[in-house]
Amino acid sequence: MQVGVVCRVEKYQKSQWNRDSMLPTLIGQPAPKFRLPAVQYGAEETEWRTPESYAGEWLVLFFYPRDFSFVCPTELTAFSAHFEEFRLRNCQILGISVDTLDDHRRWFETPVSEGGIGPLRFPLASDQAGEFARACGVWLEEKQCAARGLLIIDPDGVVQYFVAHNTSVGRNSDEVLRVLDAVQSGGLCPESWAAADGTIDIVNELKPGRVLGQYRLVSQLGAGGFGNVFLADDLTLNRRVALKVIRATASSAREQVIAEARAAASLNHPNVCTVFAVETIGGLPMIVMEYVEGDSLSEIELSSLNSKERARIAVDISSGLTEAHAHGIVHGDLKPANVIVSNGGRATLLDFGLARHSRDGLPQTGPTTDANVGNDVDVTVIGVAVDENEKRPVGALSGTPRYMSPEQTLGERATTASDIYSFGLILFELISTRPAIPKLPLVEILDSIRSGRVREQVLSNVGSSASTLLAEMLATDPESRPTASDVKHELSAMNFDD
């Protein structure tokens, strides 16, 4: 007796169809929903298979034309023989054709010598009307059956691989296992790649002319503690962008970077570099930013600028900070290298939010000394802040040593007040044309910031016009520091020549 059932398939959204192709654009899209009757070898009862049947698992959807055909048995038995290898990869298999469940059962029971399939390790489903095959783009109208389509669906229900063969050409189970390994790796895998090969190290392969997604690299603009920055052409929107590729550090740190970059994307201000997008390509998170032409403040000989030019830079920095802080966004690593000055003299702040990290996932580097953090005190570092008296870790150290606030040197999370302290050190440089803190061993720098000696040295080397404001900005107590808006107001009336 035949089981008269048909599948139910959720209608596929027209927006997901590629108008230039006969096939739907399935890759990266949620797989079409289905509810298919299925049967296992040796079982009489009907099972209903849905995406929920495979929750938390990978799934290979294996379309084939018909039972009792010539090529199908070779494919199905090969995949069945490799079933344990699929299971080791947390992957299930579901075979699908237009045949009825009774046809499937007869195929199971018929001797192999007479065209039967024999025992299979995975179920066969019935898509009698071909609705699901149509939704997946593998339906052959003239033959009234499915092509040899195969989809790999990840545990989130997203299609990661799609292929369709001519009905006369079988699929290779070893190749499907290779592809499954590749998509599960999350990296870039070349032709003939195998799991033992490892994925392509994208960072080492990033060179001018390379294309990542929709971006063609033009040149490298710089490299820092969190990643490399490239000038790139956006091939879709036909514009120049700055592309920051985040290094493969601990996952929680990377997630924090991405989360805060997304928050910074809400800023739209002439003195803040705009974040256009946050994407992941080849397993690496990338931040796509406005490309700002000019030189960083750290590259400019400040003595070559007149007082009005330096004052404008200071006002621009305060304007950018005011806008960011109004949106609850903290920079956390404000320093001359993160300020770009255009040829017209306008200052733009870079890398908002990219210096913040939660403590989880930070490298445990031990005491903060030159030996384990490095000798360059002008680059962003991540480590463990240590109480030098008690020799014990007190928090996560993150920032650029010569521009850290006292609380950051103790491992506390950066706040808007921390940005004001860092800005105070930059403001002193703009007024005096020399750094507030000379290049000293790291421990000496951190101690001078914590003890308040830096503040004393700054105030003894500025005129009366700036001393009051700098005294407030460099207060050891964060609560005593002014807001960015207050600083902007004071700067508008300040004379840099005093």
Handedness of CA 407, 411, 417, 420 (dihedral sign): positive
What are the tokens at 7?
A: 């599948």
Q: Which is nearest to 377 in space by CA: 401, 404, 409, 353?
A: 401
Contacts of 79 (CB under 8 A, 6+ apart): 60, 62, 86, 93, 122, 173, 176
| Cα-only R_g, the chain | 31
Under a CB-based contact definition with an 8 Å cutoff, are residues 153 and 65 in contact?
Answer: no
Catalytic position from the list 72, 136, 189, 273: 72
Place of tokens 């499937």: 104
Query: Which amino acid belongs to residue 13?
Result: Q
Under a CB-based contact definition with an 8 Å cutoff, are residues 79 and 92 in contact?
Answer: no
Query: Which amino acid belongs to residue 396?
Result: A
Alpha-carbon distance of 294 to 267, in angstroms, equals 21
Backbone angles phi, psi at 216, to 5 degrees: -105, 125
Q: How big is the CA angle at 106 (ends 102 and 107), to the nearest 5 degrees?
A: 115
Q: Which is nearest to 448 in space by CA: 392, 409, 393, 397?
A: 409
Q: Which is nearest to 136 in space by CA: 38, 57, 36?
A: 36
Instruction: Kindly state the helix (H) or strand (E) to which residue 432 belongs, with its residue range.
Output: helix 416-432
Q: Assign 467 to helix, strand or coil.
A: helix
Strands 124-126 and 91-97: parallel
Backbone angles phi, psi at 296, to 5 degrees: -70, 155
Under a CB-based contact definition with an 8 Å cutoff, are residues 216 and 202 in contact?
Answer: no
Q: Assign 147 to helix, strand or coil.
A: coil
45 Cα distance to chain centroid: 46
Asked whether residue 14 is marked as a ligand-binding residue, the answer is no
**484-491 and 416-432 helices, crossing angle to 10°:** 20
Strands 58-63 and 145-146: unpaired
Catalytic (active site) residue 72: yes
Within the chain, how many helices (H) and strands (E) appear?
A: 15, 21
What are the tokens at 349?
A: 């702040």
Strands 47-49 and 34-39: antiparallel
Alpha-carbon distance of 62 to 136, in angstroms, equals 11
Instruction: Cite the active site residues.
Output: 72
Task: List binding-site positions.
Answer: 244
> Binding site for ATP, residues?
244
